[in-house]
Structure 1
Amino acid sequence: MCGGSICVLAAVFALSLVFIFLRDGKKSQRKSKLPPGSMGWPYIGETLQLYSLDPNVFFATKQKRYGEIFKTHILGCPCVMLAGPEAAKFVLVSQAHLFKPTYPKSKERLIGPSALFFHQGKYHTQLRKLVQASLSPEVIRNMVADVEAVMISTLDSWVGGHVINTFHEMKKLSFEVGILAIFGHLENHYREKLKNNYHMVDRGYNSFPSIIPGTPYRRALLARRDLSKIISGIIADRKEKGIFGKNLLGHLLDSKDENGETLTDEQIADNIIGVLFAAQDTTASVMTWILKYLHDNPKILEGVKAEQNTIHRSNDEGFQPLSWSQTRRMPISHRVVLEALRMASIISFTFREAVADVEYKGYLIPKGWKVMPLFRNMHHNPEFFSDPEKFDPSRFEVTPKPYTFMPFGSGAHACPGNELAKLELLTLIHHVVTKFRWEVIGSKNGVQYSPFPVPLHGLPARFWKLPS
């Protein structure tokens, strides 16, 4: 009898263990489930939907249906998209070590594998310090006069009533500012060679990555090879003359790691081209949007004019140069810049890749999957920005909630050139509103993606100089 009871108790105990195991297993499965969403067609996933729709509509529709975390499959990769500030902080800051920066290999080949934003760890830290040092406020404040000279020369070339493609002209302008930040004053023959070859690389950067002779991507690869040779020539010239300077090239040439090793010419070239890519299209896009938003909002334009005309008069009606301290005292214009960055959201999202299986809010993000914090969704979320489709710089009289506004990213991979970009934008505003009037030609609405969002057709416009 006693032995039978023991057997029964043993059986009950064993069954209990099985039940607990199965129950815990189910809990584990529940904890490890993939986020909701659709993976689309085999291999191509939902890439066609992304590129056939306005990306804003694609992402917003997904978020409305599935919530702030959802899965999809685009550009040949399974992805988890995150549309909330907590998630952005998780990926970019608090658990950034679990997510490495990633780019398609075709684009990495054109920029260069040693560029800092492809890396983590010691190498990334070393390079980021160098880039930040070359773009610090202490260095940039000495660039104001040169940036202003580029701005005045560019704007004067638009005068005469002929129609310009504003975005294309802004790309030329931001390229020249990028050259200043990287090389300082550069000889004309080097500048022209860099410009011609960089333009070829830029044209092929977003093309289909075919290595067939004659294709844009193939031509871009050849131009990229020539860029390395040109930069090596500049490096040799600077070393021979002993000219390093406080610009990016000077910092890269003067750098040594913990073992006393210097950077190779190829590493320097990759990082120079990476900075050019990071600086040109994004800044040009924002400058183009600023001109559109000011054109479309006359009352806001009048407030900006009043602020900038006060500075203009204090500078002897423009005969004295703009100063660094003056660019720090433009509150209305600064809010216009912030609102343009929010509205346009030039960087709609950023790519990361999970380096291990990661659990977030009960969902599994598998190792190797791409992870995309969606900045645009946060910037246009009415919970964080009331009436988000209205251009309203006054909203920035109050600081946004943390991680709801990230035009320059966040964390260790945030854009190190944000101070230079702001200087460029504020210098543009100062000169364009105090010296020019402009008219947008054709449709005043519409957006095109190339791949960054820009006004339709690059914002065709005419410019006239105001009477002195």
Structure 2
Amino acid sequence: MWVVSLCLAVATLLLYYARWAYKWRNPRCSGVLPPGSMGLPLIGETLELLIPSYSLDLHPFIRKRVQRYGPIFRTSLVGRPVIVSVDPEFNNHILQQEGRLVEIWYLDTFAKLFGLEGESRLSRVGLVHKYARRIFLNHFGSDILREKLLQQIEEGVERCLRKWSSLPCIEVQEAAFDMMFDFVRRQLFSYDAHETSADATEKINRFLGGFLVFPLNVPGTAYHRCLKEHRKFIDMLKGILRERLNSGKTSNVDFLDEAIDSMHDQDFLTEDFIVQMMFGGIFATSETISSMLAMIFKLLSGTPAVLEELRAEHKLILEKREGQSTALCWDDYKSMTFTMQVINETLRLANFAPGLLRRALQDIPVNGFMIPKGMAIMAVTAALHTNHDVFENPLEFNPWRWKDLDSGTISKNFKPFGGGMRQCVGAEYTRAFLCAFLHVLVTKFRWTEIKIGDVYRNPVLCFKDGVNIKLSESGKSL
């Protein structure tokens, strides 16, 4: 009898698994799902997405499926069914429909690390989103950039580059991350005297090594190490917040002061919420700009004509303000036409993230298919940036192409900072910082390449062996 019972139990388990696997592979839908494959149970097709691709083109995971299924297809990533779209009209549409057709959504790994699980206050449309956007604009937006931040960036960049020039070699992304972290923490919470920049940077760099992996929280895995480093960094930020709260003194001079002052009026402003906002600000600013700077050095190393025109533009800026204030001003920044073309072209080619994630709030018909309510949608805006119909020879670094593109074409086909109401609040800050950096770099320094590693995606942009240079002040020997 025990043999019969065992066989029945095994058969029941197999039937249950088969039924579960069928439902998982065929999500409930009131119409026809977009074509595609869900891959292996739970793992889905995640492993293929994580295979490095040594190209600036779209990741092969996406390109192959577009060729097989069309511009909208279904897949499964890190345990979640996802509809992937490279259709420009559909992507533009849903990015304008937040709060109606879709809401912002994050992969489980990202959501857990940034405090965005479930109906998180950071992901909701409305009062909280408006507050978070406003407070970041107060400390990183156009007004403060114009008033004082641009000059502070110029001064900070020059100090940092002089330090770099004293070293035999620097790896650009790591050194730039240190620079960015030091600068952004001054804006967020003045200055943390309790921990050196190197210690804090090491923590966040170890964290970055594991946040885009399968969320397997087992000792020895990258995700487990990532969570461990995340806790350490969050504890550091909590200590800074509690010290400020215990002092009872706020002067409203930095981000943290303003957030503490707002706790009396906004009931959603808990200590955890403020810490997560600070962590998000550090991550978004430091990681994005440091990666951009590494990419700029890599691209300039192979295009001397671009570097020559950059130097000519910034030499003209210096000549125009000769005898006046030597500090970089807003008019100088806005006059950097070719510099902005270089930055746009770098942003277009870099495509640091594979796409923007949303979740359907209702069934969404598209091209004869139906995206079910609750399904995640990845709008692959990077596909716009490599569109042969808009950008001739799209994998070529050609800043001059932007002279011939009208504003309408750019707005529809260039979305490095997202789109709709969720467009990155730090877009102007990023551009201004990069312009100021390039201004100081090409007018006061020279560099030689020691070793320029290859670019690859898995799926975010990475640099194999780094971008290593030797920097020297102009007029001094390298």
Among 89, 92, 100, the alignment partner of 2:92 is 89
Is contact 1:165-1:457 (8 Å) kept?
Answer: no
Aligned alpha-carbon RMSD (Å): 3.0
Report the equivalent of 1:69. Answer: 72
Match in the other structure for 1:14: none
| Structure 1 position 112 matched with structure 2 position 115 | yes
Q: Deviation of residue 172 (structure 1)?
A: 1.4
Q: Which residue of 2 aligns with 1:52?
A: 51
Please report how far the alpha carbon of residue 108 of structure 1 lies from its aligned counterpart in structure 2 after TM superposition: 2.5
SS at match of 2:106: coil
Distance in 1 between residues matched to 2:79 and 2:324, nearest whole Å: 53
Letter of the aligned partner of 1:415 in structure 2? C
The answer to whether the Cα contact below 8 Å between 2:122 and 2:128 also exists between their aligned partners in 1 is no
Q: Partner amino acid for 1:357? A: D
Q: 1:134 aligns with which of 128, 132, 139?
A: 139
| Structure 2 residue 441 is matched with structure 1 residue 438 | no
With 98-107 and 221-230 compared, the bigger mean Cα shift is at 221-230
Whether the 8 Å CA contact 2:46–2:76 is kept in 1: the answer is yes
Secondary structure, aligned partner of 1:437: strand
CA contact (8 A) 1:90 1:96 kept: no
Deviations 1:10-31 (A, max 9, x none): xxxxxxxxxxxxxxxxxxx999
1:463 match: 471
My pick for the range that moved more, 381-390 or 334-343, is: 381-390
The residue that corresponds to 1:429 in the other structure is 438
CA deviation digits over 1:186-228, x for unaligned, max 9? 1422565754544454444345545445665445444444444
Amino acid at match of 2:419: S
In structure 1, distance between residues paired with 2:29 and 2:214: 40
Q: Which residue of 2 aligns with 1:123?
A: 128
C-alpha separation between the residues in 1 aligned to 2:72 and 2:224?
38
Is the 8 Å Cα contact of residues 349 and 375 (structure 1) preserved in structure 2? yes
| 1:101 equivalent in alignment to 2:107 | no
Counterparts of 1:48 and 1:217, CA distance in 2: 15
Partner Cα distance (1:237, 1:88) in 2? 45
2:9 aligned residue: none
Q: Report the equivalent of 2:177.
A: 171
Corresponding residue number in structure 1 for 2:187 = 181
Structure 2 residue matching 1:94: 3-state secondary structure:
coil
Q: Structure 1 residues 70 and 96 mapped into 2: Cα distance closer, same or farther (>3 Å)?
A: farther
Aligned to 1:39: 38
> What TM-score comes out, normalization by structure 2 length?
0.82
SS of equivalent to 1:134: helix
Residue 343 of structure 2: aligned partner = 337
TM superposition shift of 1:168: 1.3
Alpha-carbon separation, structure 2, partners of 1:256 and 1:30: 43
Equivalence map 1:20-419=2 (5 Å) = 32-52=31-51, 54=53, 56-94=59-97, 96-113=99-116, 117-141=122-146, 142-159=148-165, 162-183=168-189, 185-189=190-194, 192=197, 194-195=200-201, 197-206=203-212, 209-212=215-218, 217-238=223-244, 240=247, 242-245=249-252, 247-255=254-262, 261=267, 263-314=269-320, 320-397=326-403, 398=405, 399=407, 400-419=409-428
Q: Normalised by the size of structure 1, how large is the TM-score?
A: 0.83
| Percent of residue pairs identical | 27
Contact 1:134 1:246 in 2 (8 A): no
Q: Distance in 2 between matches of 1:305 and 1:210?
A: 49
Contact 1:289 1:454 in 2 (8 A): no
The alpha-carbon distance between structure 1 residues 58 and 113, as it changes in their structure 2 partners (threshold 3 A), is: closer
How much has 1:418 moved relative to structure 2? 0.9
SS in 1 for 2:469: strand
Aligned-pair CA distance for 1:458:
1.9
Residues 391 and 222 (structure 1), Cα distance of their counterparts in 2 relative to 1, 3 Å cut: closer
| Larger Cα-atom Rg | 1
The alpha-carbon deviation at position 298 of structure 1 amounts to: 0.9
Choose 434-443 or 294-303, whichever is displaced more: 434-443
The amino acid of 1:327's aligned partner reads Y
- Structure 2 SS opposite 1:353: strand
Contact map agreement 1:347 1:375 (CA 8 A) in 2: no
Unaligned runs of 5+ in 1: 1-28
Deviations 1:150-183 (A, max 9, x none): 2122222322573322111122122123213322
Q: Which moved more, 1:247-256 or 1:113-122?
A: 113-122
When residues 286 and 159 of structure 1 are mapped into structure 2, their CA distance, relative to the original with a 3 A threshold, is same
Change in Cα spacing, 1:300 to 1:117, as seen in structure 2 (3 Å) is farther
**Pair 228,343 (structure 1): closer, same or farther in 2 beyond 3 Å:** closer
* CA distance in 1: counterparts of 2:203 and 2:361, whole angstroms: 35
- Evaluate the alpha carbon distance shift between residue 244 and residue 223 of structure 1 in structure 2; reply closer, same or farther with a 3 A threshold: farther
How many residue pairs end up in the alignment?
437
Give the corresponding residue for 1:17: none
CA distance in 1, matches of 2:69, 2:143: 46
Question: CA-to-partner distance for each residue in 1:236-288, whole Å, 9 max, x for gaps?
Answer: 5545363343543233223268x753612111001111111211222111111
Contact 2:234 2:275 (8 Å CA) reproduced: yes
Distance 1:356 1:88 in 2: 16
Three-state SS of the structure 1 residue aligned to 2:411 is coil
Q: What letter matches 1:353 in structure 2?
A: R
Moved more, 70-79 or 409-418: 70-79
* 8 A Cα contact 1:209 1:217, kept in partner: yes
